[in-house]
Structure 1
Amino acid sequence: MSLVPYKTKYCQLPFSFDTGRLNNDLKQIRETDWLDHFNASAYDNVWRCVPLRSVDGKPDHIQSLSDKHYKDTDILKRCPYFQEVIDSFECEKTSVRLMALGAGSQIKMHTDKGTSFEDGIARLHIPIVTRPDICFTIEDEEIHFSAGFTWYLNAGCLHGVRNKSLTPRIHLMLDCIVNSWLENVFQEAGFIPRAKPKYGDPSINDKNVGTIIAGLIAMNNEPAKQMAERLIAIQKSGTTT
């Protein structure tokens, strides 16, 4: 299988799945299983989710939160092929959801902090129902995620989706905890992680770090002093500490 050349914003991974079986499991999802996405300001028209793995296995919980206990929901028990797909990734998963973007709908440009490979979370998309004119915009690039294949999206990048078709777009989305197995998969796919910000915060750079250090020192308290000292040490060494 020909893979997309390495990217830092997205990457096609070497896994593909049977779209017929994916759609058969999709038929086991009831209308009452679908939940409107909680962030109504982030999209126009229709964006809905079905939790297959959630905090404490709750069927009405679609947020992805750190430091929580995740369990499969009862909905997943109706979908054996979804379970097979999920189990094929040899790493821990937190949130697993079906994500449906209605015809003519869009997800507005946004970032999801802490959800990148470099943060230890790989957000994987497996499109089940899609069309060529349904595309992600990731920073300055448009990309269509094709059905049945596995795609990594760096959700920490500015991104959005527009469904220009007359049918809903439905993806199976997995948030995977990065481990050595997944690192090897990404490496084999040609992915190269983005370099970490020099000062640990992407908003701090060599041009403004002096001003930030001065402001921290002026605050005259111990936490600010410690942060200023850390920035000064990085500034002098040229590497993150």
Structure 2
Amino acid sequence: METYKFTSVFDVQKLRHDLGICQGNSWRSHFNASDYSGTWSSFSLRSISGLENDILATANAPYKDTPTLEKCTYFKEIVDSFKCEKEAIRLLSLAPNSYIKEHTDPDGGYQDGFFRIHIPIMTNPKVEFKLNGKLLPMQAGECWYANFSLPHFVSNFGEEERVHLVIDCIRNEWSDALFGDIGYDFDKEKAVVKDPKITRLIIQELTNQNSEAAQKLIAELMLELT
């Protein structure tokens, strides 16, 4: 599954109210300066340090909520509705006449024990978001999953900024049930791994993840080896 639009639709006015709280603070330019042109900035609601200007999204690190998340009651309600461990939670803004170059995010798909949720808050008809060559017509208030380990880019040639709430989640039994309901092919996921050498490398990588989902996947892969 490359992408999926969930049936949940969030209240745009409430989203923009909480965005307004965050816009009263300083936002940081994205650290991958070579990956974009124009202005791409971020504000953290959950970060490694617990600070709003800490916008690094590093896997397998301890995260904590920033003080601003507690003030944004609707954002917090949405975040809490995902019954799994969360890593980075950020607001990502792409200014008018700005472009994020095509790139991939390593281990950025559900098969990697991870899933990233995008909830558009502000957008316009001249925003183009493509993943693996497919246009994702994300509208304000919608909730999307995409496998960001695939090539993707974003452009904003409209007259207003494009802002998304982005929630990085760790896979668990709750999310497996959620993805199972929307048609995720678990059998296909298991069939991808056939070479024992690749299996051992995946197990080695998963041992670095201190999560319930990682331990479950390790157990399943160990059974394949035996």
Corresponding position: 1:107 with 2:122: no
Classify 1:109/1:197 alpha carbon distance in 2 versus 1 (closer, same or farther; 3 Å).
farther
Q: Which stretch of structure 1 is more off in the superposition, 112-121 or 61-70?
A: 61-70
What does residue 50 of structure 1 align with?
43
What does residue 36 of structure 1 align with?
29
Corresponding position: 1:74 with 2:67: yes
Three-state SS of the structure 1 residue aligned to 2:91 is strand
Contact 1:132 1:146 in 2 (8 A): no
CA distance in structure 1 between the partners assigned to 2:152 and 2:170 by the alignment: 21
Three-state SS of the structure 2 residue aligned to 1:112 is coil
Percent identity over paired residues: 36
Three-state SS of the structure 2 residue aligned to 1:27 is helix
CA distance in structure 2 between the partners assigned to 1:169 and 1:198 by the alignment: 41
Which of residues 145, 163, 169 in structure 2 aligns to 1:170?
163
In the TM superposition, residue 197 of structure 1 has moved relative to its aligned partner by: 5.2
In the TM superposition, residue 198 of structure 1 has moved relative to its aligned partner by: 4.3
Corresponding position: 1:85 with 2:78: yes
What does residue 61 of structure 1 align with?
54
Amino acid at match of 1:60: N
Deviations 1:127-162 (A, max 9, x none): 000123312111121121111111001110011111
Classify 1:30/1:134 alpha carbon distance in 2 versus 1 (closer, same or farther; 3 Å).
closer
Q: Which stretch of structure 1 is more off in the superposition, 151-160 or 185-194?
A: 185-194
Three-state SS of the structure 1 residue aligned to 2:54 is coil
Three-state SS of the structure 2 residue aligned to 1:49 is strand
Length-normalised TM-score, structure 2 = 0.81
Deviations 1:21-50 (A, max 9, x none): 000111101354311000000111010000
CA distance in structure 2 between the partners assigned to 1:55 and 1:70 by the alignment: 4
CA distance in structure 2 between the partners assigned to 1:82 and 1:58 by the alignment: 17
Deviations 1:92-135 (A, max 9, x none): 10000000011111110000101210101100000000123312
Deviations 1:178-224 (A, max 9, x none): 111111212222333664354476xxxxxxxxxxxxxxxxxxxxxxx
Q: Which runs of 5+ in 1 are unaligned?
A: 1-7, 202-239
Length-normalised TM-score, structure 1 = 0.76
Amino acid at match of 2:164: H
Q: How many pairs does the alignment contain?
A: 196
Amino acid at match of 1:172: L
Which of residues 136, 148, 165 in structure 2 aligns to 1:143?
136
Classify 1:179/1:167 alpha carbon distance in 2 versus 1 (closer, same or farther; 3 Å).
same
CA distance in structure 1 between the partners assigned to 2:69 and 2:29 by the alignment: 19
Amino acid at match of 1:113: P
What does residue 214 of structure 2 align with?
none
Corresponding position: 1:98 with 2:91: yes
Q: Which has more helix, going by share of residues?
A: 2
CA distance in structure 2 between the partners assigned to 1:190 and 1:99 by the alignment: 28
Q: Which runs of 5+ in 2 are unaligned?
A: 199-223
CA distance in structure 2 between the partners assigned to 1:138 and 1:38 by the alignment: 21
